[in-house]
Structure 1
């Protein structure tokens, strides 16, 4: 059920129909918390999706809290070197970059690089994307 809600929320979000996406993400989050618990990876996925939506709407304070909450869950349940962790770290780095908080961005991208290299290998496209983002930071 939550996968369907998240997928439909993603579709609306991509269409910039945020008013339709938000209740779907919130409903998925509520279900995950009630059925799976507040420390389940699927709950973290719902938090991350809601964070992406808020980011698209420019609600940076809410975004940061949601990403950090998701990171706590991922690290506790999946470990600090899981790909879901890398995705949310990268999302948080993008928020900090947009806020001009360069000192917080670099360690996050470096952590993402470590995860991606370990899990995906050095020749994976995700490595290139993270290296590009890090280069943009250094260029700034």
Structure 2
């Protein structure tokens, strides 16, 4: 129920109140170090940072959730990776790329070992790392992570799938922003051709 309010006009304060109430109930019922408390902390933290409001509080809650999950579930559990990825994303969103990078990298290592290289969560983290590197003008690593994400998406969905086109277009826009105009235009042309190819391939 609380999540629904996040997507309503002016609904996020209600969502925060509901998440906070749920956190208190779970904590009293199960104790402060229960994995369900970590889940509630994670949800409450996301509501605090929406829309980009109380960053220090959100980070503090996520760090507590991470500590609980590491202790109760193990250092290499997927829920640990989820919290690492969320922390990385929040730092990334607020421009702290130096802090975000190792969080993404650790999340990716856990995800790849648990899920394999082509699962959506792995692809999302590759995508996030690629964006971060490009924004830092580390083009070697940025290119590597974006190209890995695109290659893996192509293997899963096919080279003419619209989702592949979206990632190619985003990669192109980032390259354009850092002055790599010619490469960006080549990628944009490919992205623009994908919808027509996708429609053609879907015809009986």
Q: Same fold (TM over 0.5)?
A: yes
Residue 15 of structure 1 aligns to a residue in which SS? coil
2:38 counterpart residue number: 44
CA–CA distance in structure 2, aligned partners of residues 102 and 114 of structure 1: 18
Q: TM-score, normalised by structure 1?
A: 0.89
CA–CA distance in structure 1, aligned partners of residues 117 and 101 of structure 2: 19
CA–CA distance in structure 1, aligned partners of residues 16 and 100 of structure 2: 27
1:139 counterpart residue number: 134
1:125 matches 2:120: yes
1:63 counterpart residue number: 58
Pick from 5, 8, 20: which aligns with 1:15? 8
User: Size of the alignment, in residue pairs?
Assistant: 133
User: Aligned-pair distance for 1:100?
Assistant: 2.2
CA–CA distance in structure 2, aligned partners of residues 31 and 22 of structure 1: 14
- Gaps spanning 5+ residues in structure 1: where? 1-7
Residue 33 of structure 2 aligns to a residue in which SS? coil
Residue 56 of structure 1 aligns to a residue in which SS? coil
Higher relative contact order by CA 8 Å / sep ≥ 6: 1 or 2?
1
Deviations 1:39-81 (A, max 9, x none): 0111011111111001113211111101101001000101111
**Bigger Rg, structure 1 or 2:** 2
Q: TM-score, normalised by structure 2?
A: 0.62
Cα RMSD, aligned residues only: 1.2
What does 1:39-118 correspond to in 2, within 5 Å? 39-57=33-51, 58-118=53-113
User: Aligned-pair distance for 1:14?
Assistant: 2.7
